[in-house]
Amino acid sequence: MPPLISVVMPAYNAETYIEQAVESVLAQTYQHLEIIIVNDASTDHTALIVEDMAAQDDRIRICHNEQNRGVSFSRNLAISCATGEWIAFLDSDDAWHHEKIASQMRLVEQKGAEFIFTGATYMDEQSNMYSTVFQVPKEVRYQNLLKQNVISCSSVMIKRKFFEKLQLERDDLSEDYLAWLTILRTGIVAYSVNEPLLIYRISRHSKSGKKVRSIQMTYRVYRHIGIWQPAALFYTMSHLMKSLKKYRKLNIHYF
């Protein structure tokens, strides 16, 4: 039997997009998976939508936070409930190409990879597609990742064993970037499928969409892992310049 993939999806007031996100998982050509959705005390119809979908497909499991706990807590809860050998992250407003997981599993077979991410394309808040494709390097090591976070959280598929001692931390910083740096700092290499298998939604309301806040959260990551202040400022400015270049291609201005 092929390895089970546990798809982790936190959701807060996600009624507009979550059905599209879940359907993109169910449409995968690689079918041996489970979807663990954590409803983070949504006040809209998110719970009703996902419960209806779960009633139609027993691979979907729902957890409910009694109060809003944030994305890090919700992802940690989903990981703790996962039964798969692999964890794949997907935010409730993003989507996958139908070959995403299958392509990553091929790289596992070829490279023995334990941490795989992909390239991306983009859509806006109305699901209109941009023509820009975000290309990624074939492999990323710790020193590469310090200079630019090229690993989109919703593209990551990673061995669950890495989260036996590691938890995602704090919503006032880029919690996924912190996790990737922590893992790669041990010598692990992240390998990519350089194809736009993630469809990333550009939203002004997301943490990444609020660019000033995003820059502050990136700086906090560097300080959190012990990088001294001048170096943290240097890496943060490097991130800023590369982020501006990326969003300029999309003709999006958040400043």
Find the helix packing angle between 211-224 and 229-249, rounded to 10°: 150
pLDDT of residue 74: 98
**Any idea where the domains of the chain sit in the sequence?**
5-203
Find the helix packing angle between 46-56 and 18-26, rounded to 10°: 20
How far is the CA of 216 from the CAs of 47, 132, 223, in angstroms? 32, 26, 11
In the chain, the largest separation of any two C-alpha atoms, in whole Å, equals 54
pLDDT of residue 210: 60
Q: Would you say 60 and 35 are in contact if contact means Cβ atoms under 8 Å apart? A: yes
pLDDT lower than 50: segments of the chain: 253-255
Sheet strands (E) in the chain: 5-11, 33-39, 60-64, 86-89, 95-96, 115-123, 129-134, 139-140, 157-159, 190-201
What is the distance between the alpha carbons of residues 195 and 117, in angstroms, rounded to a whole number? 10
What is the distance between the alpha carbons of residues 41 and 16, in angstroms, rounded to a whole number? 16
What is the distance between the alpha carbons of residues 145 and 184, in angstroms, rounded to a whole number? 8
**Shortest CA distance to 120 belongs to which of 112, 129, 128, 111?**
129
How far is the CA of 34 from the CAs of 61, 81, 86, 103, 219, in angstroms? 8, 11, 10, 18, 35
Q: In the CATH hierarchy, which fold is given to the domain comprising 5-203?
A: Spore Coat Polysaccharide Biosynthesis Protein SpsA; Chain A (3.90.550)
| Cα dihedral value 190, 194, 198, 204, nearest 10 | 90
